[in-house]
Structure 1
Amino acid sequence: MPSATPWQSVTYTGENYGLYLQDQMKFGDGWILTLGGRQDWVNGKSVGYDLYAADPVIDASSDDEKFTYRAGLTYLFANGVAPYASYATSFLPQSGVDAFGDVMEPTTGEQVEAGVKFQPVGWNAMFTAAVFQLTKQNVPTPYGEDPFGPMVQDGEVRSRGVELQATLSISGWNLNASYTYNDVVVTEANPEVPNSSLALGKHPRWVPEHMGSIWLDYTFATGKLAGLNLGGGVRHVGTTYADALNEIANDPYTLVDAVIRYDLSKMWPKMKGVELAVNATNLLGTEYVTCFSAADCKWGAERTVIGTLTYRW
């Protein structure tokens, strides 16, 4: 039997200051230019003790600053079509220390995105399509088999993909649909982490390549069923991996949800603002399992039905 890991308590204290400026300019015949910048200052200190030491076993400080920016250009056609392109950088401080007791480095990133938005004239609808590439450096990831244990940081992780989304409201019908293809791979190893090069070209843990959902509901406006809302939808999550080497795969799963709502004021005018609803998630009781490591797997949420009575004023 392996020896138990000694108990350890780590306390992190830190301060974060930032200044942000953004300007949106319209010029020419339909051009929109958005520019933004942010300066961050972050300092932190991690102090850790274990059961057997009077003095701290971890005593690490960090002091970081970073300027990030974004730029976007959109052209708005008269028919509601709006192609756009954008570039942005990011900075996200990380608290605490890694598995080796070293201060966690801030996560930085760059994103390039291009796409088109379409809002048909006279319609309550929006359709969007976009392609993107996002690269992040110093991305936290579990070290070893314990998914909730000490962390390390990958050298670089790259995401490339497509996002599609549609929303539509017409004659009592409401539609929301989305799909994401997200190809995420480790593109640079961290030379300070043993065996990190083995993860090159692999997918990070628990990140699905395919995700999609569709939801449709209808509200009766007239007749004996006025105030009744019926809705249903489907959610899909693609294959994910529970380990850095992608040897443990979680199967994809698809779940069905549904809802029934009723505005009680349609029957009793004095109950304006009162709504009765019954929500069901995983309506069909689909069984699925998610593994976080070779020794840690959990059943997905079972069928859940919740009734609510809401009053808004």
Structure 2
Amino acid sequence: MKTLRRCGGIGMGKRAAWSASLLAIGGIGLWAGAAQAETAAEPADAADGDIVVTGYRYLSEDTSGTTGLPLSIEAVPQSISLVNQDFLKATDIKTLGEVAQYTPGALFDGNPGGFGSVVKLRGFTSGNAIDGLNVGLLDFEPDFATLERLEIVKGPTSVVYGAANPGGIINQVTKSARADTPSYVQVLGGSWGRWRAEGQVAGALDEAGTIRAIGVAAHEEAGSFMKRVDSAKTVAYLGLDADLTDTLSGYLHGGYEHYRRTPFDGIPTLPDGSPAPVGRSFFIGSGDFNIVTRVKRINGGLNWEPSSAWSVSLKLNYLYYNTTGQSGFGFDLQPNGDFFLAAQRYTKNDQESFSAGLSSLYKLDDLGLADSFVTVAANYQDYRTQSNGLVPDLPNDMVNIFDGIPAIEAALNAAQYPGFDYALGRRLRYLTLSGQADIKVAEPLTLLGGISWSKPDVTKRSGTGPRQDFSGDSQTSLRLAATLEPVKGLNIYASYSESFQPQLFIDTAGNVLAPLSGEQYELGVKYVSSDRRLLLSGALFDVRQANQARYDQTVNLIDRYKAIGEVRHRGLELQAVGEIVRGWQVNAGLSILDPKIRKDDDPTLIGTTVTFLPKTTASLFTSYMFDNGLLLGGGARYVGSVNTAYDGSTRDIGSYTLVDASAGYSFDGWRLQLNLKNLFDKKYYINNYQTLFYGNVVGEPRSFTISVRRDF
């Protein structure tokens, strides 16, 4: 295997960097005080405190489903980014990877095998949840037409979710039917033959409006800037929301998604990490190969409020998806152009998750503790994966990249099955019991404490062998925080939290790696304007995690990993989201990350920077809606360079800045919109596997979409 390269510093000394970070966070507090004085004098836009918004609105506020706390976003002592439908539509974002590029603290970590975007939070692979319940891994790209918003919670969440990664979790909030939920139709067309038709119908099923329904359907097909690559998807979604009594409400949501795409896994690099000398549209694979994913999910819940002080919530979630098909890929490119080919057929790639959560909240106002409460919860998850496939014999498994796409495709199409087969099954089950208390001990000071207990049950089975148990001991996790609110809307907090996560990665001996364990210290500040249109936030964090998985080698086409003793990720996140003045929306963020290895069996790695993580990312998207209905917008996404080897033996993957723009016009329920991405046609690369063995993926060049939407 190739060795890994070490990268240089951020560009300033450690003390200077952290001093600048503290000054940046402190600046939010100073700005907040001045802004409060200014916004307090502004006239209200509507009576009774209602906010009238024209055009898009980027700021959403409800985070109770993610954090388990009935607090407004500025009062939650944790860094949170919310991405709502308005922002997704304004930017024409279509993948979680693009969401990450517009979210401080989030990183797009590639799309291995074409299954779906991998996102890291604070340098660690994110967890995934749907409507507040953990669902484990996601090997597909969710369609955003079925979602109200994405809640990106950064930092350990084990007190709320039990098993969780230290970086955080992405919660998908499914669409509900409310009184103001619109019905609409939309058509879209764009580069490389992309087209999409989407529609939504929502409304009440009874005269009182207590029973409401929503339905969403979409179909999309697209080519690619790469030759012989295309895709298609079909989406159907139904939701039912009901106020059953004055104290009881419930919902039932379900959907089906079908994805077909040509698999592409990147272009191998030369031994020194240099890109292969081929054009941007070069393709290693076969246009005759496809992988197909079928997704089925259903989730529901009941909320009971027997009194103004007491509430009980029950949630259930079932998710199943299966991927089948055939893929090919290349690796180990040599200076003369020779490289190896491999193929595989996914005969069964099933993932199934069932989760349930029961929680209760009691407000303590009647006990003389105003704005205080306690919560207790029990969560259960059962997560299973089964991967079966065939690895064929290739009569010609070495080709030359200069022979071109047809020669490579012909070599892959000559694959002779059955070859040899593989099978790997894994199952993770755990029960988590938790409790939290949020007590306002004095007018400016609130203390939060939480604890959870989890008992994981992890088993693995390779081929037809016996099932092996890797469960380990029960785990206890803590959460502590203190929040000061010196002026209305300004919150300064300090927090400590812990996490653990059983791993499903395996080593070269076929054993599952030991569970991840992490802890985090965070210092942050949040400010929300008096009209609740603009949110400013900043956070300093220090995350430490043991047993971080690092790619080791591939055995029988199954990637194997080693566990790093301990890594420490420190950093800064800043974000501004919302409306600056009427009609002017902004979403801006900056993240600085310093990931280091603190403990390892290899002493030469201690103190080195973790590879394949950019130290700096930044983003901005802003739009302005004029009174005549004209909308203009634009933004940029910056990702810093990443080092690819601890010892400097391979080249860094270069930094890149992508500039986007949009223009639209709204009138009489219609909206026309043009979106341009990568306006200056920047060529850039994204790594899929935290190794150059398989190479990198070329980023998408300049593209456009034109959409027409009609609301009813």
TM-score by length of 2: 0.38
Of 13-22 and 206-215, deviating more is 13-22
Residue equivalent to 1:15: 429
2:561 aligned with 1:161: no
More strand by share: 1
Match of 1:233, SS state, is strand
> How far off its partner does 1:120 sit?
4.0
> Which of 465, 471, 479 is residue 63 of structure 1 equivalent to?
471
Matches within 5 A, 1:18-33: 18-33=432-447
Contact 2:508/2:560 (CA < 8 Å) preserved in 1?
Answer: yes
Match of 1:159, SS state, is strand
Contact 2:659/2:678 (CA < 8 Å) preserved in 1?
Answer: yes
Residue deviations 1:3-60 (CA, integer Å, cap 9, x gap): x9975321112312222322222231221222222222211221112xxxxx53x853
> How far off its partner does 1:300 sit?
1.6
Contact 2:550/2:562 (CA < 8 Å) preserved in 1?
Answer: yes
Q: In structure 2, what residue type is equivalent to 1:214?
A: L
Match of 2:559, SS state, is coil
> How far off its partner does 1:122 sit?
4.6
Of 27-36 and 158-167, deviating more is 27-36
Residue equivalent to 2:528: 119
2:498 aligned with 1:83: no
Residue equivalent to 1:52: none
Q: In structure 2, what residue type is equivalent to 1:238?
A: G
Q: Distance in 2 between matches of 1:302 and 1:8?
A: 37
Of 18-27 and 85-94, deviating more is 18-27
Match of 1:131, SS state, is strand
Contact 2:505/2:561 (CA < 8 Å) preserved in 1?
Answer: no
> Which of 492, 495, 513 is residue 104 of structure 1 equivalent to?
513
> Which of 208, 211, 228 is residue 617 of structure 2 equivalent to?
211
After superposition, the Cα gap between the structure-2 partners of 1:258 and 1:104, relative to the gap in structure 1 and judged at 3 Å, is same
Residue equivalent to 2:270: none
Contact 1:202/1:246 (CA < 8 Å) preserved in 2?
Answer: no
Q: Distance in 2 between matches of 1:200 and 1:144?
A: 21
Residue equivalent to 2:684: 288
> How far off its partner does 1:162 sit?
1.2
Q: In structure 2, what residue type is equivalent to 1:286?
A: K
> How far off its partner does 1:240 sit?
1.0
Residue equivalent to 1:41: 455
Residue deviations 1:62-113 (CA, integer Å, cap 9, x gap): 1132111211111112253321100000111212522222222111100001
Residue equivalent to 1:255: 658
Q: Distance in 1 between matches of 2:685 and 2:430?
A: 39
Match of 2:487, SS state, is coil
Residue deviations 1:225-246 (CA, integer Å, cap 9, x gap): x223211001110111234545
Q: In structure 2, what residue type is equivalent to 1:250?
A: I
Residue equivalent to 1:240: 642
Q: In structure 1, what residue type is equivalent to 2:632?
A: L
After superposition, the Cα gap between the structure-2 partners of 1:152 and 1:208, relative to the gap in structure 1 and judged at 3 Å, is same
Residue equivalent to 2:372: none
After superposition, the Cα gap between the structure-2 partners of 1:40 and 1:311, relative to the gap in structure 1 and judged at 3 Å, is farther
Q: Distance in 1 between matches of 2:655 and 2:510?
A: 36
Residue equivalent to 2:703: 304
Q: Distance in 1 between matches of 2:456 and 2:640?
A: 37
Q: Distance in 2 between matches of 1:143 and 1:300?
A: 26
Give structure 1 stretches of 5+ with no counterpart.
Answer: 50-54
Q: In structure 2, what residue type is equivalent to 1:137?
A: A
After superposition, the Cα gap between the structure-2 partners of 1:279 and 1:41, relative to the gap in structure 1 and judged at 3 Å, is farther
> Which of 178, 182, 187 is residue 593 of structure 2 equivalent to?
182
> How far off its partner does 1:143 sit?
0.6
Q: Distance in 2 between matches of 1:104 and 1:308?
A: 47
Q: Distance in 2 between matches of 1:79 and 1:212?
A: 29
Residue equivalent to 1:129: 538
Contact 1:12/1:96 (CA < 8 Å) preserved in 2?
Answer: no
Q: Distance in 2 between matches of 1:62 and 1:311?
A: 54
Q: In structure 2, what residue type is equivalent to 1:298?
A: V
After superposition, the Cα gap between the structure-2 partners of 1:28 and 1:104, relative to the gap in structure 1 and judged at 3 Å, is same
Contact 1:115/1:129 (CA < 8 Å) preserved in 2?
Answer: yes
> How far off its partner does 1:293 sit?
0.7
Contact 2:675/2:705 (CA < 8 Å) preserved in 1?
Answer: yes
Matches within 5 A, 1:185-204: 185-189=596-600, 191=601, 196-204=602-610
Of 176-185 and 302-311, deviating more is 302-311
Matches within 5 A, 1:210-229: 210-221=616-627, 226-229=628-631
After superposition, the Cα gap between the structure-2 partners of 1:40 and 1:260, relative to the gap in structure 1 and judged at 3 Å, is farther
Q: Distance in 1 between matches of 2:495 and 2:546?
A: 20
Identity rate of aligned residues, in percent?
Answer: 26
Q: Distance in 2 between matches of 1:16 and 1:246?
A: 42
Q: In structure 2, what residue type is equivalent to 1:143?
A: D
> How far off its partner does 1:178 sit?
0.9
Residue deviations 1:188-214 (CA, integer Å, cap 9, x gap): 11x4xxxx4443222223211101111
**RMSD (Å) for aligned C-alpha atoms:** 2.8
Give structure 2 stretches of 5+ with no counterpart.
Answer: 1-338, 343-390, 392-419
Q: How many residues align?
A: 291
Contact 1:203/1:246 (CA < 8 Å) preserved in 2?
Answer: no
Match of 1:241, SS state, is coil
> Which of 664, 671, 678 is residue 275 of structure 1 equivalent to?
671
After superposition, the Cα gap between the structure-2 partners of 1:244 and 1:105, relative to the gap in structure 1 and judged at 3 Å, is farther
Contact 1:44/1:63 (CA < 8 Å) preserved in 2?
Answer: yes
Residue deviations 1:112-142 (CA, integer Å, cap 9, x gap): 0112222344563222222110001111111
After superposition, the Cα gap between the structure-2 partners of 1:244 and 1:27, relative to the gap in structure 1 and judged at 3 Å, is same
2:632 aligned with 1:230: yes
More helix by share: 2
After superposition, the Cα gap between the structure-2 partners of 1:198 and 1:60, relative to the gap in structure 1 and judged at 3 Å, is farther
Match of 2:541, SS state, is strand
Q: In structure 2, what residue type is equivalent to 1:41?
A: K
